[in-house]
A and B are shown apart, each in its own frame.
Chain A
Amino acid sequence: MNLKNHKAFPAGIKISLLFIYLCSFFSPLSLLADGSVVSKIYHPYVQPLEKEIELRTLYEKDDNNNDQQKVKLGYGQSLSDSWFGEIYLIAHKDGGDAFAIEAYEAELKWQITEQGEYAADWGLLFELEKEEGDAWEAASTLLVEHQWGRLIGAANLSAIYEWGDKIDDELESKLALQMRYRHSPRFEPAIEFFSGQDYKGIGPLIMGREILGPARRLRWELGASFAISSDSPDLTIKTALEYEF
């Protein structure tokens, strides 16, 4: 069979089927990371010479009016034309408590394929996080992205291992999906789906970017995720500001 000329399943349809398949496949899972399942969705691209400062916030509220807040401050820079490294300082606040440093994180992103070269763009993300005390988390995440005209679909599929005196050693998995509409550089609406430990949620996201000068950009995001399983926090709000230079 000549697969190259086989038109029964065009590339776009194949990607759509894969997206739906992954979504349905992971929905029943309830075994994921101990941290917040709602997080940044990564894209499999790296730019040489790029540096960025990143500020992310996360607010979670459940039906008992317990709220938690998390702030991540990061610095990242490309290490080559296909590798990007970033380090984070993570602070956490539970209810009326004050913010306290909770964890440190390092991550490495690897762009595997050139954007647009194949039916989908591929990358890998490696993360290592250490919480205060003795709790560690290492994760490998497969990054996939595909474009259908003005629509962009992104999938992050993670395998996570946690260990340490404070927590049970365990293997987990996590899925995050994003479908984004490229309305304009300053405004791109999206919908996101997250499935992780004790959490399944879906919600809208808006994002945009401002060009501040040659090679200087500010990207922003504002999103909400609403629980679709009973043991999830009812509402999660996330924000992000990234200054690229």
Chain B
Amino acid sequence: MRNNHCLKAWPELGKSAAWLFVFLLLSPLTQAGKPLIEITIEQHLFVPSEIIIPANTKVKLRVHNRDATPEEFESWELNREKVIMGNSSTTIFIGPLSPGIYPFFGEFNPKTAQGKVIVE
């Protein structure tokens, strides 16, 4: 009996998987042309420490860690946490956001590595 249930269910599962696959294929269409902002981590500081981005727009942050040690870009307000290994770079996507100030910090050096995203 259970195997019959399985056989009936798999076409349904396949239909769902196909739906998700189509959605995955279409997803990249929504992300072209994002503004790019470069941030550098040097001596456990974010440079620049303040960035201004437009409201309701998805933005690509390219973060370069020039220190030899890893750092973690952390922001509960932005719902992002991302480790950047020493002497390497990573990409963080933020937004679309409402106007306001969204702080972020480096979790491995929270006293020095601090910054904010200003959404206008």
| Chain A residues at the B interface, C-beta cutoff of 8 Å | 3-4, 11, 14, 18, 21-22, 25-26, 29-31, 47-50, 81, 113-120, 122, 142, 144, 147, 149, 152, 157, 159, 168, 170-173, 182, 185, 214-215
Q: Judging by beta carbons under 8 Å apart, are A118 and B80 in contact?
A: no
- 0/1 string, B64-108, CB within 8 A of A gives 1: 000000101000100111110100001111110010000000011
| Chain B residues at the A interface, C-beta cutoff of 8 Å | 2-3, 5-6, 9-10, 12-13, 15-17, 19-20, 23-24, 26-32, 58, 70, 72, 76, 79-83, 85, 90-95, 98, 107-110
> CA A122 – CA B109 in complex, angstroms?
30
Q: Judging by beta carbons under 8 Å apart, are B5 and A31 in contact?
A: yes
List the B residue with the shortest CB-CB distance to A117. Answer: B93
Q: Judging by beta carbons under 8 Å apart, are B30 and A11 in contact?
A: yes
Kindly name the residue among B16, B107, B110 whose own CB sees the greatest number of chain A CB atoms within 10 A: B16
Q: Judging by beta carbons under 8 Å apart, are A118 and B31 in contact?
A: yes
Q: Judging by beta carbons under 8 Å apart, are B9 and A31 in contact?
A: yes
Shortest CB-to-CB span from A45 to chain B, Å, is: 8
List the B residue with the shortest CB-CB distance to A142. Answer: B20
Q: Judging by beta carbons under 8 Å apart, are B80 and A4 in contact?
A: no
| Chain B residues within an 8 Å CB radius of A120 | 23, 27
**Given A49-B70, A114-B91, A170:B2 Cβ within 8 A:** yes
Q: Show 22 residue pairs from A and B whose CB-CB distance is below 8 angstroms, ordered by the A residue.
A: A3-B29, A18-B23, A22-B16, A25-B15, A25-B16, A31-B5, A31-B6, A47-B83, A48-B70, A114-B92, A116-B58, A116-B93, A116-B95, A119-B23, A144-B20, A149-B98, A159-B13, A170-B3, A170-B6, A171-B10, A173-B10, A214-B108
